Every structure is written in structure tokens, then in C-alpha cells.
Structure 1
């Protein structure tokens, strides 16, 4: 998995980089078909009192690109919220891929039992 971490209006320190990498390990444990991911961390200075920390990710998996973003007062809280949302999206995509619980048309009870009863 290729990982790119960039920051807008902030320097990406090694501590932040390691924190993001540790959180992304949870995603790769659940779904190992991740091609690459691009994380963007930003600080929006609206006013001096109202600072917003924003984290967003574009995760490319086979057949789809998952985009998730989150906003919080703390950068680490924004990253945690981002990874929780991303985990739910990836698990939803994984179950969509693995969902084989549908019955085949030829094995449906209406057609099979009616033909066998005649």
C-alpha cells in the first residue's frame, strides 16, 4: 500500500505520520486489497477562537475510491473520527463484495416446487 500524507497550513511531524500509519493498520487488517491512500491534514483558521482541524483521505481499493473527511477541534480527534468512518465504509464495501446470499433463479421455491409437483 502506498501512503501519502500531506498537510495544508501545518507541518506533518513524524509523530503525526506514525499516528496515521498506526491507525491505517486497522483498515488493512480488515481489508487487504488497498492499492494506495492519500491523507490530507489541514488547519482552517476561520477566526482566532474558531480553529478547525480537518482530516480527509482518498483510499483506492480494487474497483472503487473511498473518500472520507472529518472535522474536529483537535487534529488527533479528527484523525480518530476519520479512521472510524473509513473503517465503516471499508467494511460496507467488503460485505458488498462478499455478499453471495442470493438464491439462483432456478432454485427459487416457486419455480422448483411447482415443476416438481406436476
Structure 2
């Protein structure tokens, strides 16, 4: 699994990079067929924005989260991605059963 973390109008510090990587490992526990994760962290006005695209076998999942705090944005993003991954995994399992 390849993880790319970049910043838009933001320098991505080692602490933010490590926090993001640790949180993304939570997603890998639910679905281990992840190919590539592109995460973009940015600032617009007073909002901290985190968005990510995940390439998995058979799909491309996207989520975006905004909040006044970058760490909170990352947490919201991970929760959204986790829900999408679980839904994708359920679709695959249902398809295989039928």
C-alpha cells in the first residue's frame, strides 16, 4: 500500500504525517486490498481541509472533511473513508455469495 500525503497552502509536518499514517492504518485493518492512498491537506480561510482518494481493487473511493482543527479534519476523514471501505467490502462479499 502506497500512501501519498501532500499539503495545499500548508507544510505537512512530521507530526501530521505520522498522525495521518497511524489513522490510515485503521482502514487497512478492515480491507487489506488497498492499492494507493492520496491524501491532500489544506487550508482555506479559517477551515482546515483533509481529502483523500483511495484506490482499491474494483473501485476508487473519495472523501473530504473540514473543521477548524487539522487533527479533527483528519479524524472526520478517516471515519468517512472507513465507512466507505466497509460498505465496499460488504458489496464484494454479497456479490461473491450470490
Query: What pairs with 1:80-91 in structure 2 (closer than 5 Å)?
Result: 80-91=75-86
Alpha-carbon displacement from aligned partner over 1:61-117 (angstroms, at most 9, x marks no partner): 001110100111100000000000000000000000001454xxxxxxxxxxxxxxx
Alpha-carbon displacement from aligned partner over 1:8-55 (angstroms, at most 9, x marks no partner): 11100000000000001110011000000000000002xxxxx00100
TM-score (norm 1): 0.80
Bigger strand share = 2
Q: Which residue number in structure 2 is paired with residue 69 of structure 1?
A: 64
Q: Show structure 1 runs of 5+ residues with no match.
A: 46-50, 103-118
- RMSD over aligned Cα, in angstroms? 0.9
Cα distance in 2 for partners of 1:31, 1:23 equals 14
Higher relative contact order (CA 8 A, sep 6+): 2
Larger radius of gyration: 1
Deviation >3 Å, runs of 4+:
none
Q: How many residues align?
A: 97
Q: Show structure 2 runs of 5+ residues with no match.
A: none
